Each structure stands twice: as structure tokens, then as C-alpha cells.
Amino acid sequence: MAVQATFFDGETATSHPVMVDTAFSTLRISGDTIKSVVWNYADIKAIEKARVGDQLRLTSVHMPGARLIIPAGRVSEKICEQAPHLLGGFNLQRALHTTGWIAASILIAFGVLYGLLNLAPKFVAGLMPAEWREQLGRQTEKTVVKSAARCTNPAGQRALLKLAGKVASGTNSPPDFSVRVYDMKLMNAFAVAGGRIVLTRGLIKAAETPGEVAGVVAHELGHVAHRHPEAALVRVMGLQLLISLATGGGDGETLGNLAGLATLLSYSRNAERQADAYAENVLTDAKIDTIGLIEFFKRVKKLQDKLTKNNDKVKILFSMLSTHPGTAERIAKLKPLPKGVAVEVLTPVEWKALKNICGKKEAGKKT
């Protein structure tokens, strides 16, 4: 079977009228103005997915610049029959190729995510110079505490310092750290970069024994020792990189926003377990009874249950914090010290001073 067709040789834009003969299970292309060529069915490709009843636009893998246009008709239909891949139906090789690409992309995506959000933050946090951490911590702290005043009642400060020292005595190599109390109602404690541990007035107020505060400080010290705050910041930056990669844009988010975001995104369960384990070791070695921490967790749980009942805002807040391991689980893990071993963390006078660290306001309420 033969048909008149149009041929472009890929060398010039000249249009060559040709005859295409399909007699020998190949496409034999011949014309007055070109040298005859033979295309095998296996080598031809459709420029656009061929449709039965349409003209065919073909090229050959051996002549990628050449184009052969065969008008719709018996010959074009026969070619489609002989070379069904032109119709773009199912093709095992292509399907495997596509599947391979998709699988590789997913693997790469997970690899990048894991590296950027897990490995890199830990690694970078470990390498961060002290001044950077200090600077980051200062900014994050400012972002989180906003306009709240720092509590600096001298007697309270002294008690806090003593308590922190007691906790730190439970480890041979305590990380550099500092503890501050801010006049904020919300019951909270967090560690930011540079070893800065921040407690709120609400937390000090809710604590019933010095051991409870010591437990919280020990837990936050665990975050500090593992550099969780620094890692969290690097993680947020990685996330930002991903976002700018996805959107193609690159406007630098201000650090303040990042810092705020980093503290909002709570740590992973794993990080919390690490901090808990650290706290338990430190407390045991410092001979501070973990009963304090247990009691405190219990109280937090009760408070959570009560608050989440009818306050949506608080509910949202706690659901954000819910990456903490279940309170019950944490309590079960902590073992109390044997009787008689535990030392007194603060004297009653010092404890009273610590409770009053935010100044006259608290004292006034008590009388």
C-alpha cells in the first residue's frame, strides 16, 4: 500500500512531496527531491498522540529532526495497526518508566524532608557557635514573652538560683543555662536557644512544693542539653526553604516570625521523652524527689481536663501541646526515690521568697 505524503528532512524547511510505501512491514519514504529512507515501525514516534481517522505526524528515533505527515486514510490506519504505540495505549516499558520516576521522586521527597527537618536541624544545632545561640535565644525570648515584665525580686532570685544550682548538681556536665521568671498569667515553662529557661508567674503560683519547680527546671534543662530549641529553629528554616522551593519565591521571612513559629510548633514526642529521661537522671543524682514532678504532671492533667471542657482557646492551646507524651505515661515512667534519701530543695523561707519573685502583687494577695 502506498500513499502521497509530506516530508521535512530536518535540514531545511523545504516541504518534500513523497510516496510512503508500507509493503515490507516498514515505511519506505521516497521522492524526487530526497534520498529514499526506510523507517522501521519500532523506531517511529508520533509527534502528537495519534488518533484513528486523523493525519499522522511521525518522526524516527534515527532522524529526530525529520517529520513525516501522512494524511488520514487507509495507510494511516494501517500504520497505527502495525505500530500501536503511536496511539499512546498501554505500554509496559513506559508504565515502568513512569512508575520508576514517581517512586524515585517520592523517595527523594522523603529523603529531603527527613534530612531537612530531622537530621540537619540536629546536626546544625550541635555546631552552632555560642554567640549565635545566645543571639537567637534573646530574640526568641523577646518574641515569646512580648511585653511581660521580668520578675526580679532579689530574695526570690536568690532562691531560684539556689534551686537551679541544686538541679544542675545532678549532672557532671551541666550545659550553660539560665533561669528567668516572667510576669505572665499563663502557666508555662519553656527553653529557648542559648540555654535560656523561662518560667511564668502562673507556673510558680501553681506549684505547691519546690520539688515541683525543680522537676520542671530539670525537664527544660533536658531540652537545653539536647539543644532542642536550636534544632527547632533550624527546622523551621528548613520548612521555609521547602516552601520557597515549592512556590519559587524567596522573600526572607523575618527572624521574629520564625522564632515565634518555632516555639509554637512544640517538640516531638521523642524530644519530650529525651527531656523526661534527662530530668529523671538529674533529679535522682541531685537527690531531689521525682514525686514533685509526678505531682506536678498530675496537677497539669487535672487543669487540662478542667480547662478544655469549656474553653475553646485553651483547647486549641493544649492540642498544640499534645505532642507531649500522655501525662499518665510520663507519671508511670518516673520512679520515686527510696525513703529518706531525698534532700530539701529550698527552705520554707526560700520557697516563700520564690513564690513571691514577681513582687508585691503576690504578697499583697496573700495577706
Partner 1 sequence: MTQQLFGRNGVTSPRVPSGTSSGGSNITVTYETKPGLGWLSIKNALLNIITLTFYRFWAKTAIRKHVWSCIRINGEPLEYTGTGMELFLGAIIIFSVILLPFILVVQGLQIAGYPIAAVIAQMVFGLMFLLLIGMAIYRARRYRLSRTLWRGVRGTLVGSSLKYSLVYFGTYLLSMVTLGWSNPAMNLELQERITKDMRFGETPFGFRGTAGPLYGSYALAWFATLIAMVGLFAAIGFGFSDYFVELAGKMKDIEKDPESFLTLILVIYGTMFVLAIIFGVIWSFYTAYEMARFASYTYFDNAKFNFNATGASLIGLWFGNMLIIILTLGIAAPFTVQRTIKYFVDRLDVEGWVDIGKIEQSQARMDTRGEGLLDAFDIDGI
Candidates 2, 4, 40, 48: give the one binding partner 1 (CB under 8 A). Answer: 48
Would you count residue 181 as binding partner 1 (CB under 8 A)?
Answer: no
Taking CB under 8 A as the binding criterion, the range among 6-14, 151-159, 175-183, 323-331 that sits at the site for partner 1 is: 6-14
Q: Are 112 and 119 in contact (CB under 8 A)?
A: no
Candidates 80, 237, 275, 294: give the one binding partner 1 (CB under 8 A). Answer: 237
Taking CB under 8 A as the binding criterion, the range among 7-15, 76-84, 166-174, 272-280 that sits at the site for partner 1 is: 7-15
Binding track, positions 119-158, relative to partner 1; x by CB under 8 A: ----------x-xx--xx----------------------
Distance of closest approach, residue 90 Cβ to partner 1, in angstroms: 18
Residues in a beta bridge with 44: 60
Would you count residue 38 as binding partner 1 (CB under 8 A)?
Answer: no
- b/e map 226-261, b = 16+ CB within 10 Å: bbbbbbbbbbbbbbbeeeeeeeeeeeeeeeeebbbb
Would you count residue 82 as binding partner 1 (CB under 8 A)?
Answer: no
Measured from the CB atom, is 98 or 319 closer to partner 1?
A: 98
Would you count residue 240 as binding partner 1 (CB under 8 A)?
Answer: yes
Name residue 174's amino acid: P
Measured from the CB atom, is 71 or 326 closer to partner 1?
A: 71
Closest CA to 170 of 115, 125, 222: 222
Candidates 46, 66, 160, 191: give the one binding partner 1 (CB under 8 A). Answer: 66
Would you count residue 12 as binding partner 1 (CB under 8 A)?
Answer: yes
Measured from the CB atom, is 49 or 298 closer to partner 1?
A: 49
Q: Are 170 and 285 in contact (CB under 8 A)?
A: yes
Q: Are 160 and 346 in contact (CB under 8 A)?
A: no
Would you count residue 285 as binding partner 1 (CB under 8 A)?
Answer: no
Would you count residue 111 as binding partner 1 (CB under 8 A)?
Answer: no
Size of the site for partner 1 (CB under 8 A): 34
360 by Cβ neighbours in 10 Å (0-12 / 13-18 / 19+) ranks as exposed
Closest CA to 22 of 46, 47, 5: 5
Measured from the CB atom, is 67 or 162 closer to partner 1?
A: 67
Measured from the CB atom, is 122 or 287 closer to partner 1?
A: 122
> What string of DSSP letters covers 258-312?
HHHHHHHSPPPHHHHHHHHHHHHHHHHHTT--THHHHHHHHHHHHHHHHHHHH-H
Grid coordinates of 107: 523517595
Measured from the CB atom, is 60 or 290 closer to partner 1?
A: 60
Distance of closest approach, residue 14 Cβ to partner 1, in angstroms: 4
**What are the two backbone dihedrals, phi and then psi, of residue 361, each rounded to the nearest 5 degrees?**
-50, -50
Q: Are 151 and 182 in contact (CB under 8 A)?
A: yes
Q: Are 70 and 20 in contact (CB under 8 A)?
A: yes
Candidates 1, 4, 14, 61: give the one binding partner 1 (CB under 8 A). Answer: 14
Distance of closest approach, residue 230 Cβ to partner 1, in angstroms: 10
Would you count residue 15 as binding partner 1 (CB under 8 A)?
Answer: yes
Determine the Cα–Cα distance for residues 248 and 228; give it in Å rounded to an integer: 30
Measured from the CB atom, is 22 or 140 closer to partner 1?
A: 140
Would you count residue 19 as binding partner 1 (CB under 8 A)?
Answer: no
Under rule CB under 8 A, which residues in 244-283 are in contact with partner 1? 244-250, 252, 254-255, 258
Name residue 366's amino acid: K
Contacts with 47 (C-beta within 8 Å, 6 or more apart), sequence order: 57, 58, 59, 67
Distance of closest approach, residue 109 Cβ to partner 1, in angstroms: 9
Provide the binding-site residues for partner 1, judged by CB under 8 A.
8-16, 33, 47-48, 65-67, 129, 131-132, 135-136, 237, 240-241, 244-250, 252, 254-255, 258
